[in-house]
Amino acid sequence: MSAAKGFTLYGSWLSGPSYKVGLMLSLTGQTFAYRALDLPKGAHKTPDYLAVNRYGQVPALRHGDFTLVQSNTILDYLSDLTGKYRGGNAATTWHAKEWLAWEADRLAPGVYRSRFYNRFAPNTDPAVIKVYRDAGEAGLKVLDGQLAKTKWLAGAEPTIADIGCWCPVAYLEEAKFALGDFPHVKAWSERLAALPGFKLPYDLMPKADVA
Amino acid sequence: MSAAKGFTLYGSWLSGPSYKVGLMLSLTGQTFAYRALDLPKGAHKTPDYLAVNRYGQVPALRHGDFTLVQSNTILDYLSDLTGKYRGGNAATTWHAKEWLAWEADRLAPGVYRSRFYNRFAPNTDPAVIKVYRDAGEAGLKVLDGQLAKTKWLAGAEPTIADIGCWCPVAYLEEAKFALGDFPHVKAWSERLAALPGFKLPYDLMPKADVA
């Protein structure tokens, strides 16, 4: 990978979707420059950043002169680019993408919102907290049920499905869920942690720009 | 397309994601058999259907002996298969997929939940209703802002981004949003309606099995 084709990740050290892209880069052996966005200060809503990410969200990934946003789309892109974590055949790749879509719909909102309310907005209406808590619980049960049957989510080897679905799970304690309540998820998390390049969020994500 | 490689859509006539796949098939000129799932009766949670869709959700698409789930993944699959609505180059295809990921995250939950509470669960806690209503409103504003600048969401021609983001918009009235409040979305919806094969949800989706 030439310098001109290097990666720059725009993210926040607190952001699960930013971690998702950082982890994929790390697991595929890519180094990357980093631009730290101070979300509480609204750095993601400035005109400069909106020119990078039209949605005003983190993460974004610049690869040479191409910029891509949406963490699961970036996982798809990076696995396509590197040929890694893509499954051994086309069917497995499609099933891995199904899991990413499921994660965005049924796992991430429940876990990340529960984490947000717990850490940053504890006075949120209890009825709202319950909606997301129940969603997170239901999603974790589906994940645990699958991992009771198969070692990895799609196919015989780890894929972007596992990387994507792992990221909310990385924050379970902060969301006040107990990993021990989902024993197959716990065992899978240990298999993931053994992959070369694996790092936990606060070990991986820089708090300031990295050139 | 030989009979052995025909399509069978599993869905519900009330389901926006089912409509999304039906519309993509219709816009790409594909005929399909249809299996109607009675969601209030729990048809999506039976062992037979869980063997089709591990998540117990609609839709699912069978293509020959291959089964795919998650509506946005199916759009990606069908555009890859047919070469239609995929954008004119790789960058546009990736940007179209970004919009699908954004739709699942920032548009569909707010609109579909608002529709659900309005039609089927009006006694839901007002704080919960407000969370989703605000999310739907915010998503529609982002969509309207983009469509103020570009005719289609990704690239110069309609893509899966437009088909995917259209589907929640098709149910705005049922969700008690006014299409007229989002004039660029309204104009775009008229461009979409002019595409060959376009149909509205209740004109397209069967209420019973179709062989």
- pLDDT tens for A20-33 read 999 999 999 999 99
Structure tokens at B21: 């796949």
Nearest chain A residue to B59, by CA = A98
**A3-85+198-204 maps to which CATH number?**
3.40.30.10
Range A90-193: architecture per CATH: Up-down Bundle (1.20)
What does pTM read for this prediction? Answer: 0.97
- Provide mean pLDDT across the span A147-155: 97
Which one of A55, A72, A125 has the shortest CB-CB distance to B142? A55
Domain span(s) for CATH 1.20.1050.10 in chain A: 90-193
Put simply, whether A127 touches B (Cβ < 8 Å) is yes
Alpha carbon distance A45, B84 (integer Å): 34
Domain span(s) for CATH 3.40.30.10 in chain B: 3-85+198-204
pLDDT for residue B65: 95
pLDDT tens readout for residues A166-176: 999 999 999 99
pLDDT tens readout for residues B41-52: 999 999 999 999
A16 Cβ contact partners less than 8 Å away, ≥ 6 residues apart: A108, A112, A115, A167, A168, A170, A171, A201
First to last CA, chain B: 16
Put simply, whether A15 touches B (Cβ < 8 Å) is no
CB A10 within 8 A of CB A60: yes
Please indicate whether, in this complex, the C-beta atoms of B106 and A69 are within 8 angstroms of each other.
no
Put simply, whether A146 touches B (Cβ < 8 Å) is yes
Give the residue from A53, A73, A142 with the most B CB atoms within 10 Å of its CB, the best one to mutate: A73
CB B38 within 8 A of CB B10: no
Put simply, whether A68 touches B (Cβ < 8 Å) is yes
Complex prediction ipTM? 0.97
pLDDT band at B3 (very low <50, low <70, confident <90, very high): very low
Q: How much of chain A exceeds pLDDT 70, in percent?
A: 98
Which one of B68, B97, B131 has the shortest CB-CB distance to A76? B97
pLDDT tens readout for residues A95-134: 999 999 999 999 999 999 999 999 999 999 999 999 999 9
Alpha carbon distance B70, B20 (integer Å): 10
Which one of A71, A94, A146 has the shortest CB-CB distance to B77? A94
Q: How far is A97 from chain B (nearest CA, A)?
A: 6
Which one of B69, B105, B131 has the shortest CB-CB distance to A98? B69
